[in-house]
């Protein structure tokens, strides 16, 4: 009996081993089939599609094409047809890594409750694509197309079909531009900037002017960079009515920008594109009023204010960040002007006449013997004694406007400089600083008041002059 029991046990073990071996064999066979599979399971030409819808965890989105694509729930929605085509492109040749025939349990592939279902109508035929689980082992997704099989596909359709309505809008765009011909600002301050490479300015880099006044090229370009990078994706309305525009403050924008631009020229020197960009910027009127009231009441916590942008006559209104709004609306003429009082290249200065406390001094620069030697600086002397000009030049270039002004100075003259320049258009630059109060001086250039400057900076300049004259 004991021998029979052992025999049965042995036979049982052998049976289990055989079954396991058979299963492994079938698995290896299936693995081999997987490796060798790669059939195209759908071929749907994009231009043949007349309807597309998909359902994902965010909802259902349906689009129909007559001559153009429209959103079924609202024909006013501006559909980006290129984005629709991007969704459909993968089905022009939709390939499977492998197929599982005669599927009995779709649940094991997550296809009993698909994460996304796609419906396509093309040439009067309908197609349904269901997306199941994602195989982490293979890094591929299981799909079904309604033919009784389950497929593992090399490209995951959910990469595109996790889209929501917001992703399908034909957003307004900031055009690509290289050259700005003109910028017109309309708002709290209205004025126009013109681009003129031949404009006259003591700063050789200046190309932007308003009524003949040069603006800081770097500052204007920084503003243009901010404009180029403006994020127009977070729309709050795609068919704004007049009433809605009022709600957004866009019936009377805080700032309207009209920018005339052109793009790079082609090989023949012709402009490839040009046009005018119009941009309106505003803040929520009610929130802005609450913010201003909180400021007036000196409250510790200030309420947020929502900011908006609108391109031209577009019906789409976008919410933008406070930072974007602040940067783009900081365009007063004074904000874009040179903040430094002396904007010329100091290397063009050949001599300096100084008047300080009723005493006159002259600093002279002797250029290097080799006129073509651009690496060697000139030699500065006072009364025949050589000195280092660095501290003086640094103090001069540090003079910057704290505020611009046209107020005629009435205080005591602190210091006056006449810089002689190697410049065809500007042979001299005369700067006079007048005491205003304990903190400020008024800077006059060529006899005209232009700005308040820090008196500390004025003192630094005076001390730099004294260091030269007393050290001689």
Residue 235 host element (H or E): strand 235-237
Contact between 134 and 114 under an 8 Å Cβ cutoff? The reply is no
Looking at 306, 336, 366, the residue that finishes a domain is 336
Are residue 192 and residue 320 in the same domain, yes or no?
Answer: yes
pLDDT (0 to 100) of residue 20: 41
pLDDT (0 to 100) of residue 138: 79
Are residue 276 and residue 221 in the same domain, yes or no?
Answer: yes
pLDDT (0 to 100) of residue 263: 80
pLDDT at 341 over 80: yes
Residue 105 lies in a domain: yes
How is the beta sheet containing 191-195 ordered, strand by strand? 213-214, 208-210, 191-195, 179-187, 255-262, 274-283, 307-311, 317-320, 235-237
pLDDT at 1 over 50: no
Are residue 297 and residue 381 in the same domain, yes or no?
Answer: no
Residue 170 corresponds to which tokens in the numbers above?
Answer: 């034909």
Q: What is the mean pLDDT of the chain?
A: 90
Identify how many contiguous H helices and E strands the chain contains and give both numbers. Answer: 10, 27
Confidence of residue 376 (pLDDT cuts 50, 70, 90): low
List b or e across 21-35, with b for residues whose CB sees 16 or more CB atoms inside 10 angstroms. eeeeeeeeeeeeeee
Are residue 263 and residue 319 in the same domain, yes or no?
Answer: yes
The predicted model gives 354-380 an average pLDDT of: 85
pLDDT (0 to 100) of residue 26: 42
Are residue 154 and residue 273 in the same domain, yes or no?
Answer: no
Confidence of residue 268 (pLDDT cuts 50, 70, 90): low
Are residue 240 and residue 293 in the same domain, yes or no?
Answer: yes
Structural domain range at position 91: 40-168
Residue 465 lies in a domain: yes
pLDDT (0 to 100) of residue 267: 64
Are residue 196 and residue 332 in the same domain, yes or no?
Answer: yes
* CATH number for the domain that contains residue 238: 2.60.40
Are residue 192 and residue 323 in the same domain, yes or no?
Answer: yes
pLDDT per residue as tens digits for the range 22-77: 444 444 444 433 434 578 999 999 999 999 999 999 999 999 998 999 999 999 99
Number of domains in the chain: 3
The predicted model gives 258-282 an average pLDDT of: 82
Residue 9 lies in a domain: no
Residue 402 lies in a domain: yes
Residue 467 corresponds to which tokens in the numbers above?
Answer: 């260091």
pLDDT (0 to 100) of residue 370: 66
pLDDT (0 to 100) of residue 185: 98
Contact between 141 and 134 under an 8 Å Cβ cutoff? The reply is yes
Are residue 59 and residue 137 in the same domain, yes or no?
Answer: yes
Give CA separation, 145 vs 36, 46, 73, 246, in Å. 20, 18, 26, 49
The predicted model gives 213-235 an average pLDDT of: 96
Residue 19 lies in a domain: no
pLDDT (0 to 100) of residue 36: 41
Q: Tell me the three state secondary structure of residue 124.
A: coil
CB atoms within 10 A of CB 395: 19
Are residue 159 and residue 187 in the same domain, yes or no?
Answer: no
Confidence of residue 135 (pLDDT cuts 50, 70, 90): confident
Residue 10 lies in a domain: no
Q: Tell me the three state secondary structure of residue 335.
A: helix
**How big is the CA angle at 190 (ends 184 and 196), to the nearest 5 degrees?**
40
Of the chain, the percentage scoring pLDDT greater than 70 comes to 89
pLDDT (0 to 100) of residue 274: 87
Contact between 94 and 41 under an 8 Å Cβ cutoff? The reply is yes
Contact between 239 and 380 under an 8 Å Cβ cutoff? The reply is no
Q: What is the C-alpha separation between 17 and 36, in angstroms, rounded?
A: 28
Q: What is the C-alpha separation between 357 and 360, in angstroms, rounded?
A: 8
Largest CA distance in the chain: 132
* CATH number for the domain that contains residue 89: 3.30.1490
pLDDT at 379 over 70: yes
Contact between 441 and 455 under an 8 Å Cβ cutoff? The reply is yes
Residue 277 corresponds to which tokens in the numbers above?
Answer: 């960009």
Are residue 360 and residue 329 in the same domain, yes or no?
Answer: no
pLDDT (0 to 100) of residue 16: 42
| DSSP notation for 457-470 | HHHHHHHHHHHHHH
């Amino acid at each position: 009996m004991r021998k029979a029991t052992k025999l049965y046990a042995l036979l049982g073990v052998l049976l289990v081993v055989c079954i396991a071996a058979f299963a492994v064999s079938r698995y290896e066979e299936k693995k081999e089939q997987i490796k060798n599979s790669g059939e195209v399971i759908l071929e749907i030409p994009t231009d043949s599609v007349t309807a597309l819808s998909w359902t994902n965890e965010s909802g259902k989105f349906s689009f129909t094409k007559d001559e153009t694509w429209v959103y079924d729930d609202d024909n006013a929605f501006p559909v980006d047809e290129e984005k629709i085509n991007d969704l459909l492109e993968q089905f022009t040749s939709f390939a499977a890594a492998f197929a599982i025939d005669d599927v009995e349990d779709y649940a094991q592939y997550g296809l009993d409750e698909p994460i996304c279902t796609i419906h396509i109508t093309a040439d009067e035929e309908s197609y349904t694509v269901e997306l199941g689980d994602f195989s982490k082992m293979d890094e591929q997704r299981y799909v079904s197309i309604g033919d009784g099989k389950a497929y593992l596909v090399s490209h995951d359709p959910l990469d595109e079909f996790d889209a929501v309505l917001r992703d399908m809008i034909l957003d307004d765009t900031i055009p690509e531009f290289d050259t700005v011909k003109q910028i017109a600002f309309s708002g709290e301050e209205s004025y126009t900037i013109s681009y003129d490479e031949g404009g006259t300015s003591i700063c050789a880099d200046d190309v932007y002017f308003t009524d003949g006044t040069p603006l800081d090229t770097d500052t204007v370009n920084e503003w243009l960079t901010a404009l180029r990078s403006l994020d127009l994706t977070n729309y709050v309305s795609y068919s704004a009515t007049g009433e809605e525009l009022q709600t957004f403050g866009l019936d009377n924008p805080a700032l309207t920008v009209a920018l005339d631009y052109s793009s790079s020229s082609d090989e023949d020197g012709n402009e490839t594109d040009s046009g005018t960009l119009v941009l309106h910027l505003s803040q929520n009127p009610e929130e802005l009023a609450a913010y201003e009231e909180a400021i007036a009441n000196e409250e510790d916590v200030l309420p947020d204010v929502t900011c908006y942008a609108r391109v031209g006559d577009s019906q789409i209104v976008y919410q933008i960040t406070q930072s974007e709004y602040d940067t783009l609306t900081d365009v007063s003429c004074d904000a874009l002007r040179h903040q430094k009082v002396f904007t010329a290249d100091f290397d063009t200065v050949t001599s300096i006449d100084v008047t300080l406390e009723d005493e006159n001094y002259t600093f002279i620069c002797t250029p290097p013997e080799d006129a073509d030697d651009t690496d060697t600086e000139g030699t500065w002397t006072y009364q025949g004694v050589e000195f280092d000009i660095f501290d003086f030049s640094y103090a001069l270039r540090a003079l910057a406007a704290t505020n611009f002004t046209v107020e005629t100075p009435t205080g005591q003259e602190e210091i006056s400089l006449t810089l002689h320049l190697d410049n065809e258009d500007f042979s001299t630059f005369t700067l006079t600083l007048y005491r205003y109060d304990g903190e400020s001086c008024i800077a006059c250039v060529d006899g005209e008041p232009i700005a308040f400057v820090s008196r500390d900076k004025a003192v630094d300049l005076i001390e730099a002059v004294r260091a030269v004259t007393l050290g001689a």
